């Protein structure tokens, strides 16, 4: 091994190359950008201005932030649902007027004033909501018009009542507390804001209406088709925007107690800037409370800072406009390219060395020497089944296979002509195994481990395991449960091929050749799940070994078979049974003579073997070429071999033509026959074994004949 290759290997082992893509694909990274901007802005301004971050200044900022923050929350909600509310400034003014009119002129008690103001905001918002939600007007133009109408209404009201409001000086301690009070130095408005924001966060991320709102913003048509009350939800969002604005106005009124011609003028631009700057996508479907808060703080810090620096109004406008433009541009660029960037950096190939494979050519001698034994297998269900990854037979000789359509298909003994849907699960069934009580356990790609009881009830066994502490990706959910076997005490060991890719992307995991897979144990007696073994290169087939205390498992892209002890004196140990196989091993199952069957789903090629030693080459390939031109593991041809626990290959079965039964991912011996499944096939093969026990039934052998 050359110096350079040692270095490549060293780097691939210790440099966490795969983390960048995983971090970027986290949703919170979207919020991270505005938060970083916020920290930078605060830092820059605190250096430029003395006492910018002093408690008094902070408290003052918090008061303003609370008032504007409420309006931003409302705007954020409306933007997330796919609209916009330009009338917030005018609504703010009207609510401010309403509060002070009720208090100063009508002399209502403070609680009544609060209720009246909020109702006022709700009504103003309801006008927008009715027009946009129910009449389906365009949000922008509609709220622009209500902006004019509300503003002129405010001007007219102000003209008649401003002196009346200004002349009264009500004295309510509770009113003053709303405006200027604090609890332990935290302004009252900030406390209320925090409570509302927390609720808003839970509402948007954990509650049904919040999800509906995001769904409508994401795709209005799809939301409608999936039965969400689109019009009502949209209308209610505008009502909520009105309510939020009224709360902000209430605090504003209590703090300043004035009505003036310029209350709320241009507020919509500030609020919009905060919303966009926080990273809430215009057009909807994406936004959070944290983003709204970050945006609000940035805008307020910048404007307050500029005011403190006594910058003229013109410069203030220019800076604000510049920020708005920059934020919108970054937002749109990022949104447009995020998935592309992620797809470029997510695939992170690593170093994987395999020695030259043992020969398989005809005449080469070895145990893998090619032959034509499988050429004439008889076929079951030709053209009637799609993608039988695994096949299994029950005690009554019926044949079961998964299908691409999310069904488990049953072919009835004895001739396997009659076929029926045994169970409809919805995800693609992969590995299958019966337990002692004839429950059929099945690994479903993308869903988890499922159980079909003898009376054909479908039950979820498990779809999550413990989350590993240092994993960036949330690996608690099962992405690609692959194959399983059942220990004598009922514990189920199953493999999850990869935690980094979804089922349809499994070849990419082969390109990466990283140990992304794991073996998980599910205990039906205690209904617990835990990860038994991790860091495996695409663990696939699993079979309980003869001692009943260990499993044999195949690592497809590791091209090896290993043995893992889950019980007994060697508990927790892993030993290599065979490595450097000439192909990619798939399912392992018991043979009637006490040995094991192993399917090789594809054969290694020198090109990929070489590429596996060159992570940089594969990384460039991932970045520069479209996915369908990547160098993937070859799965065009394969074979079935028989091996023993010592790791010796006893026999191999090939099909040189590959026409009759083109691909093999699984095989199952039953009463003298070998049944063959292949995930890209539309048929199941059946091969008559010479010298095999004609009465062999897997379960009877292991657990004795049942009733």
Partner 1 sequence: MTLKRIGQQEIVLGIFVVLFVAFALFLPGFATTANMLTLLQNVAVLGILGLAMALVVIGRGIDISLIAALAVPPGLVLQMVQDGHSLPVSIAAALALALVFGLLNGWLIAYAEVPSLFTTLATGLFLAGLGQAALFKLDVVQWSEGMSGFERLGQGSLLGIPTPIIAFALVCVVVALLLRQTRIGAYIYAIGDNPFGARVTGIPSRPIIVLQYVLAALIGCFAGLVLASSVNSMPTRIFNSTMIYDVILVVVLGGIGLSGGRGGVFNVIIGTLLIGTMLNGMTIMDVSYSGQNLIKGVILLIAVIIDSFLNPRNEETAQQGDI
| Binding site residues, partner 1, CB under 8 A | 82-84, 131, 135-142, 144-149, 151-153, 155-156, 159, 218-221, 265, 269, 272, 276, 281-285, 312-322, 324-325, 328-329, 332-333, 336
3-state secondary structure of 360: coil
b/e sequence 334-344, b meaning 16+ C-beta within 10 Å: eeeeeeeebee
Take residue 223 and report the two structure tokens written for it.
Answer: 């939301």
Ranges of beta strands (E only) in 115-248 are 182-183, 186-187
Of 333 and 457, which CB lies nearer to partner 1 in the complex structure? 333
Contacts of 530 (CB under 8 A, 6+ apart): 465, 466, 520, 521
Q: Which long-range contacts (CB under 8 A, 24 or more apart) does 22-30 make?
A: 22/346, 22/472, 22/473, 22/500, 23/472, 24/338, 24/341, 24/342, 24/345, 24/346, 25/342, 25/346, 25/473, 26/472, 30/279, 30/286, 30/291
Work out how close the CB of 340 gets to partner 1 at its nearest, in angstroms, rounded to a whole number: 15
Is the C-alpha dihedral spanning 250, 254, 255, 258 positive or negative? positive
Take residue 422 and report the two structure tokens written for it.
Answer: 């045994």
Work out the end-to-end distance of the chain between its first and last CA atoms, rounded to an integer number of angstroms: 60
What does the alpha-carbon distance between residue 479 and residue 464 come to, in Å, rounded to a whole number?
9
The owner of tokens 């005011």 is: 307
Work out how close the CB of 162 gets to partner 1 at its nearest, in angstroms, rounded to a whole number: 13
Work out how close the CB of 286 gets to partner 1 at its nearest, in angstroms, rounded to a whole number: 10
What does the alpha-carbon distance between residue 599 and residue 652 come to, in Å, rounded to a whole number?
10
Work out how close the CB of 329 gets to partner 1 at its nearest, in angstroms, rounded to a whole number: 5
Work out how close the CB of 165 gets to partner 1 at its nearest, in angstroms, rounded to a whole number: 17
Ranges of beta strands (E only) in 303-457 are 378-380, 391-393, 399-402, 407-411, 419-424, 429-434, 440-444, 448-452
b/e sequence 158-180, b meaning 16+ C-beta within 10 Å: beebbeebeeeeeeeeebbebbe
Work out how close the CB of 45 gets to partner 1 at its nearest, in angstroms, rounded to a whole number: 20
What does the alpha-carbon distance between residue 151 and residue 139 come to, in Å, rounded to a whole number?
18
Of 266 and 454, which CB lies nearer to partner 1 in the complex structure? 266
What does the alpha-carbon distance between residue 155 and residue 574 come to, in Å, rounded to a whole number?
80
Cis peptide, bond prior to residue 319, ω within 30 of zero: no
Of 170 and 218, which CB lies nearer to partner 1 in the complex structure? 218
Of 94 and 114, which CB lies nearer to partner 1 in the complex structure? 94
What does the alpha-carbon distance between residue 354 and residue 351 come to, in Å, rounded to a whole number?
10
3-state secondary structure of 116: helix
Work out how close the CB of 123 gets to partner 1 at its nearest, in angstroms, rounded to a whole number: 16
Work out how close the CB of 429 gets to partner 1 at its nearest, in angstroms, rounded to a whole number: 36
DSSP 153: H
Work out how close the CB of 145 gets to partner 1 at its nearest, in angstroms, rounded to a whole number: 5
Work out how close the CB of 225 gets to partner 1 at its nearest, in angstroms, rounded to a whole number: 11
Work out how close the CB of 152 gets to partner 1 at its nearest, in angstroms, rounded to a whole number: 4
Q: Which residues pair with 597 in a beta bridge?
A: 589, 642
Of 159 and 530, which CB lies nearer to partner 1 in the complex structure? 159
Q: How many CB atoms lie within 10 A of CB 396?
A: 9
Contact 37, 30 (CB under 8 A): no
Of 287 and 448, which CB lies nearer to partner 1 in the complex structure? 287
Work out how close the CB of 118 gets to partner 1 at its nearest, in angstroms, rounded to a whole number: 24
Q: Which helix (H) or strand (E) holds 698?
A: helix 698-703
Instruction: State how far Cα 123 lies from the chain centre.
Output: 39
3-state secondary structure of 2: coil
Work out how close the CB of 216 gets to partner 1 at its nearest, in angstroms, rounded to a whole number: 11
């Amino acid at each position: 091994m050359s110096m350079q290759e040692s270095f490549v290997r060293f780097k691939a082992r210790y440099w966490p190359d795969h983390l960048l893509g995983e971090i970027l694909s986290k949703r919170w990274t979207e919020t991270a950008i505005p938060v970083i901007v916020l920290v930078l802005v605060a830092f820059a301004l605190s250096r430029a201005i003395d006492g910018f971050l002093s408690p008094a200044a902070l408290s003052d900022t918090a008061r303003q932030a609370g008032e504007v923050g409420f309006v931003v929350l409302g705007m954020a909600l409306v933007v997330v649902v796919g609209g916009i509310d330009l009338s917030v400034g005018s609504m703010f003014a009207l609510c401010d007027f309403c509060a002070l009119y009720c208090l100063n002129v009508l002399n209502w008690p403070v609680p009544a004033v609060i209720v009246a103001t909020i109702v006022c905001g709700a009504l103003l918002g309801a006008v927008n909501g009715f027009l946009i939600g129910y009449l389906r007007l365009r949000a922008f133009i509609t709220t622009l018009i209500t902006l004019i109408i509300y503003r002129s209404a405010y001007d007219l009201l102000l003209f008649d009542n401003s002196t009346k409001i200004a002349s009264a000086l009500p004295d309510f301690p509770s009113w003053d507390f709303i405006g200027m009070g604090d609890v332990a130095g935290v302004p009252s408005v900030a406390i209320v804001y925090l409570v509302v924001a927390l609720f808003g966060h839970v509402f948007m991320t954990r509650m049904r209406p919040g999800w509906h709102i995001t769904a409508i913003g994401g795709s209005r048509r799809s939301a409608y088709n999936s039965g969400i009350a689109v019009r009502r939800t949209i209308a209610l969002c505008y009502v909520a925007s009105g309510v939020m604005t009224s709360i902000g106005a209430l605090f504003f009124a209590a703090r300043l107690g004035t009505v003036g011609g310029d209350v709320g003028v241009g507020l919509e631009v500030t609020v919009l800037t905060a919303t966009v700057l926080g990273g809430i996508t215009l057009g909807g479907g994406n936004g959070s409370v944290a983003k709204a808060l970050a945006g609000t703080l940035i805008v307020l810090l910048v404007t307050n800072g500029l005011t403190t620096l006594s910058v003229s109004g013109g410069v203030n406008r220019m800076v604000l406009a510049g920020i708005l433009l920059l934020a919108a541009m970054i937002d749109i660029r990022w949104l447009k390219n995020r998935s592309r960037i992620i797809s470029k950096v997510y695939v992170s190939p690593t170093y994987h060395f395999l020695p030259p494979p043992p020969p398989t050519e005809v005449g080469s001698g070895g145990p893998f020497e090619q032959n034509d034994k499988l050429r004439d297998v008889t076929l079951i269900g030709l053209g009637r089944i799609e993608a039988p990854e695994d096949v299994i037979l029950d005690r009554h000789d019926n044949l079961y296979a998964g299908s691409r359509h999310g069904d488990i298909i049953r072919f009835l003994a004895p001739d396997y002509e009659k076929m029926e849907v045994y169970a409809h699960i919805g995800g693609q069934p992969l590995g299958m195994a019966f337990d002692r009580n004839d429950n059929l356990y099945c690994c479903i790609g993308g869903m988890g481990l499922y159980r079909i009881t003898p009376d054909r009830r479908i039950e979820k066994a498990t779809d999550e395991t413990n989350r590993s502490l240092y994993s960036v990706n949330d690996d608690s959910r099962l992405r690609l449960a692959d194959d399983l076997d059942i220990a004598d005490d009922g514990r189920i060991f199953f493999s999850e091929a990869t935690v980094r890719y979804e089922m349809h992307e499994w070849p990419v995991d082969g390109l990466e050749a990283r140990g992304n897979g794991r073996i998980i144990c599910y205990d039906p007696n205690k209904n617990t799940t835990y990860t038994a073994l991790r860091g495996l290169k695409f663990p696939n087939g699993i079979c309980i070994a003869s001692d009943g205390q260990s499993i044999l498992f195949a690592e497809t892209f590791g091209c090896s078979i290993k043995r893992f002890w889950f019980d007994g004196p060697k508990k927790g140990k892993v030993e290599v049974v065979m490595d450097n196989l000439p192909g990619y091993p798939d399912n392992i199952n018991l043979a009637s003579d006490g040995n094991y069957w192993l399917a090789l789903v594809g054969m290694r090629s020198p090109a990929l073997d070489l590429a596996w030693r060159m992570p940089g080459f594969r990384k460039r390939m991932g970045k520069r070429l479209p996915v369908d031109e990547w160098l993937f593991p070859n799965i065009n041809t394969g074979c079935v071999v028989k091996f023993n626990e010592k790791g010796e290959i006893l026999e191999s079965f090939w099909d040189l033509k590959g026409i009759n039964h083109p691909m093999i991912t699984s095989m199952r011996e039953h009463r003298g026959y070998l049944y063959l499944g292949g995930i890209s096939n539309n048929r199941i093969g059946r091969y008559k074994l010479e010298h095999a026990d004609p009465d062999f039934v897997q379960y009877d052998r292991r657990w004795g004949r049942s009733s």
